[in-house]
Amino acid sequence: MIIGIDASRAARALRTGTERYSLEIIRHLLALPAAPCHQWRLYVDTLPAPGLFTALPEATDTIDLRVLPGRRLWTHRQLAAEVTRHPPDVLFVPAHVLPFVLPRRRLPPSVVTVHDLGYHAFPETHTWQQRLLIEMGTRWSVYAAQRVIAVSQTTADDLQRHYRTPAARIRVVYEATTAPMHIDAEQVDAVRTRYGLTRPYALFIGTIQPRKNVARLLQAYTWLYHNTPVAFDLVFAGASGWLSESLYEQAAALGLAQHVRFLGYVPDDDLPPLLKGARFFSFPSLFEGFGLPVLEAQSYGVPVLTSNNSSLPEVAGDAALLVDPTDVDAIANAMLRLSQDEVLRQQLIEAGYANVRRFSWEKAAQETLAVLVEAAEAAKKSSP
């Protein structure tokens, strides 16, 4: 088959969760033993770095990199024009929305990955403009796609509840984490020095925005600081998002500048040693479609605190301390336990290593390719 993939998000210089998923799934699709049986068209808006998608020189014979310059409404203008003029046998959009094309039959058989529907659960964590755009894009995508990939059963259930997407068109394909790098003490010390981290620390990774529950995490740490001897700092690694300024102001008003640190966006090379050096990972997000940072922390032997809602229990398994993310006292008590209870810490570390083995990018790529083949074949059967 000719398999077209929107690789534009994967080629971004600064990648957050969906962009990282896009890059990893593309890399692992191209590395499958069955990959040379297909032709791969990768659509990007700018020329990516050499070797970004594959390190296999022999794979380049089956890869057609199509650079479609443009910025504004790139998906619905440049990409839409390309896939309707030169349609692949199937189009895969792993990290955004399907091109808007009328009538729908002009769009090639398509597969889209839906990462979460958190804007339904917590609409107040998005601007109304963001909600409108996400709602329109998601509604169109799940309507037009031959198959929809959900990254968790939670997301699959949400698709059926909010959009009445037939279960027969949904396939659950879990994300994964890359194999952990070997990180030695010198690398950890180097990163700690680079970011000025002189004390043990609890780590949060994610965009600084309301949906990540940063305000309650700050409140929980503040309560601990004023009521118990706190032997660790609270470190946030992530780019600024919507309403981040108010969160920074809240942190400054607490008078804990020496102990609450916002590092901003942390490059990919620094994340593993930053994780490895953490006392524990604190991720009480209000809603996640998958929650990849949980697996990343577990893969580096870091105890995890996370939420008991959305997909997080599904992903974390029995290898994390689960809390109600709306309960500040529960978050504070869990942080205190993970900072002091060494038996609990070791139990979660060992359980985390076992939990991570349930997921792999190779398995995700195999299952995704099967969905792409299935979508193309289903379209052929349904065509007049």
Q: Where are the alpha helices (DSSP H) in the chain?
A: 17-30, 80-85, 118-121, 128-144, 153-163, 185-194, 214-227, 244-253, 271-276, 292-299, 312-316, 328-340, 342-356, 361-382
317 in the same domain as 257: yes
10 in the same domain as 129: yes
d(CA 151, CA 171): 9
pLDDT in tens, 210-253: 888 988 999 999 999 999 888 999 999 988 876 677 777 877 78
Residue ranges of the chain whose pLDDT lies below 70: 55-59, 125, 242-243, 384
Peptide bond into 103 cis (omega under 30): yes
237 in the same domain as 299: yes
d(CA 348, CA 170): 33
What global pTM score does this model have?
0.89
Domain coverage including residue 34: 2-176+360-382
296 in the same domain as 158: no
The total domain count for the chain is 2
Q: CA–CA distance from 62 to each of 24, 56, 169 (Å)?
A: 18, 11, 29
Q: Are 181 and 272 in contact (CB under 8 A)?
A: yes
Task: Please give the angle made by the CA atoms of 145, 149 and 155, to the nearest 5 degrees.
Answer: 115
pLDDT in tens, 334-376: 999 999 999 999 999 999 999 999 999 999 999 999 999 999 9
202 in the same domain as 102: no
CA torsion through residues 68, 72, 74, 78, sign: negative
166 in the same domain as 26: yes
d(CA 226, CA 246): 22
- DSSP code, position 211: G
Q: Are 7 and 43 in contact (CB under 8 A)?
A: yes
| Residues 6 or more apart in contact with residue 269 via CB below 8 angstroms | none
170 in the same domain as 262: no
Q: Are 305 and 339 in contact (CB under 8 A)?
A: no
296 in the same domain as 202: yes
Q: Are 281 and 301 in contact (CB under 8 A)?
A: no
Q: CA–CA distance from 156 to each of 120, 163, 167, 181, 335 (Å)?
A: 14, 10, 8, 32, 31
Cα-Cα-Cα-Cα torsion 118, 123, 129, 131, nearest 10 degrees, comes to 30
212 in the same domain as 171: no
Q: Can you spell out the DSSP letters for 324-347?
A: -TT-HHHHHHHHHHHHH-HHHHHH
Q: CA–CA distance from 195 to each of 134, 181, 235, 279, 367 (Å)?
A: 35, 20, 10, 16, 40
Any idea how long the chain is?
A: 384
193 in the same domain as 132: no
Q: Residue 319: its pLDDT value, please?
A: 97
Domain harbouring 99, CATH code: 3.40.50.2000
Tokens representing 143 are: 């309507």
329 in the same domain as 277: yes
Strand order, beta sheet including 2-6: 63-67, 39-44, 2-6, 90-93, 110-114, 147-150, 170-172
Q: Residue 252: its pLDDT value, please?
A: 79
Q: Residue 57: its pLDDT value, please?
A: 61
| Residues 6 or more apart in contact with residue 268 via CB below 8 angstroms | 15
d(CA 325, CA 254): 21
Task: Please give the angle made by the CA atoms of 56, 62 and 66, to the nearest 5 degrees.
Answer: 100
d(CA 201, CA 235): 6
- Picking from 337, 302, 335, the residue whose alpha carbon sits closest to that of residue 219 is 335
347 in the same domain as 298: yes
| Residues 6 or more apart in contact with residue 355 via CB below 8 angstroms | 295, 298, 316, 317, 318, 319
